[in-house]
Amino acid sequence: MSTSASTPSAATGHARFPHLQAVIFDWAGTLVDHGSLAPTQIFVDAFATFGITLTLDEARGPMGLSKRDHIRTLLEDAGLQAQWQARFGKASTDADIDAIYERFMPMQIEKVGRYSQPIPGAVDALKALRGAGLKVGSCSGYPRQVLDVLLPQAKADGIEADHVVAGDELAAGGRPGPFMALANVLALGIGDVRACVKVDDTTPGIEEGRRAGMWTIGLSLSGNETGLTLAQLQALPDAAVVAHREAATKRLMAAGAHLVIDSVASLTKALAEIDARMARGERP
């Protein structure tokens, strides 16, 4: 039987989200680690061992890329490159990127577990998706060695995906390319990328989902774009929270997000909106 052009080729048929098949998540700042502190702080610490001063805001700039690409992008910044040249008397090279990465990796592996706590609402959101018959994929800028530490701890706290792709294990590369998202499509047996939703707290992660042909939901307050722990966020006056939300939403929408919500605690409502838009014939 042929399928109409406006209907996913393998619709789920589940009553709650009948037009959707899978949700693909990022990890830090999306499911765990409110504020996405684990990767940012370790970048600051790793660069400091080379005598280079890197602020948390600077470290956040390329967040979402694979960690080696993240380091490369940081060193392309004029200010950091000037620091490097002042300290070492020459421009940074690929060998220097490798050296920083090799310094970064054991520090990240050692400390990632400290930041593995689920973001409030994440456990319930995953239960709701599975209860609705949706598959749960995931990908990360973290290399596999780091995920091998993070994933068991997250699982113990109720956070688990059906499939996980690490930022260093695809020959085609990582974000903002579509490759990790599409690897989830293949592994999960999804019949139509248009029935997938990518959820991410970074602009490269949103671009990844759009390039893969998926719906995309950005997270404004729980992740990299705001960069605050839950306690720090809750301590802010309402006006400051509104300002953070508006600034993050603007950046995520500019990257191509179809919707932006505060955190995964609001995910099921956002998915219902996307499903309704699909029922009206809209496609990502």
pLDDT of 5 > 80? The answer is: no
Domain stops at, among 94, 114, 134: 114
User: What does each C-alpha distance from 205 to 111, 166, 181, 232, 233 come to in angstroms?
Assistant: 23, 13, 9, 24, 23
Residue 157 pLDDT greater than 50, yes or no? yes
Shared-domain flag, residues 160 and 267: yes
What is the average pLDDT value for the chain, to the nearest integer? 92
Q: Does residue 74 sit in the same domain as residue 130?
A: no
Q: Is 7 inside any structural domain?
A: no
Does any domain span residue 4?
A: no
State mean pLDDT over 217-228. 96
Same domain, 124 and 248: yes
* SS3 call for 22: strand
Domain final residue, candidates 114, 141, 163: 114
Whether the predicted pLDDT of 12 surpasses 80: no
β-pairing, 196-200 vs 135-139, is: unpaired
| Per-residue pLDDT tens digits for 103-135 | 998 998 988 888 889 999 999 999 999 999 999
Q: Is residue 139 part of a domain?
A: yes
143 shares a domain with 64:
no
Residues 97 and 124 in one domain: no
Task: Please give the residue range of the domain that contains residue 94.
Answer: 38-114
Quickly list DSSP for 111-149. HGGGG-PBPTTHHHHHHHHHHTT-EEEEE-SS-HHHHHH
Same domain, 108 and 131: no
Q: Answer whether residue 215 shows pLDDT above 60.
A: yes
Residues 27 and 48 in one domain: no
pLDDT value at 155 more than 80: yes
State the Cα–Cα distance between residues 191 and 239, nearest whole angstrom: 44
1 falls within a domain = no
> Domain ends where: 81, 114, 147?
114
Q: Which CATH number goes with the domain that contains 204? A: 3.40.50.1000
Identify the H or E element spanning 24. strand 22-25
Q: Which two tokens stand for residue 13?
A: 């048929």
- Between 273 and 3, whose confidence is greater? 273
Do 154 and 60 sit in the same domain of this protein?
no
The residues annotated as belonging to the active site are 26, 67
* Mean pLDDT confidence for 161-190: 95
CA distances from 82 to 14, 71, 78, 91, 132 (A): 56, 15, 6, 8, 53
User: Would you say 202 and 225 are in contact if contact means Cβ atoms under 8 Å apart?
Assistant: yes
30-83 pLDDT, tens digit each: 999 999 988 888 899 999 999 999 998 898 888 778 888 999 999 999 999 999
Instruction: Report the domain count for the chain.
Output: 2
Cα distances (angstroms) measured from residue 132 to each of 12, 22, 25: 9, 10, 17
Residue 53 lies in a domain: yes
Residue written as tokens 């998926």?
214
Residue 11 resides in a domain: no
> Which residues, including other chains, have CB under 8 Å from residue 49's CB and lie 6 or more apart?
103
pLDDT for the residue 14: 61
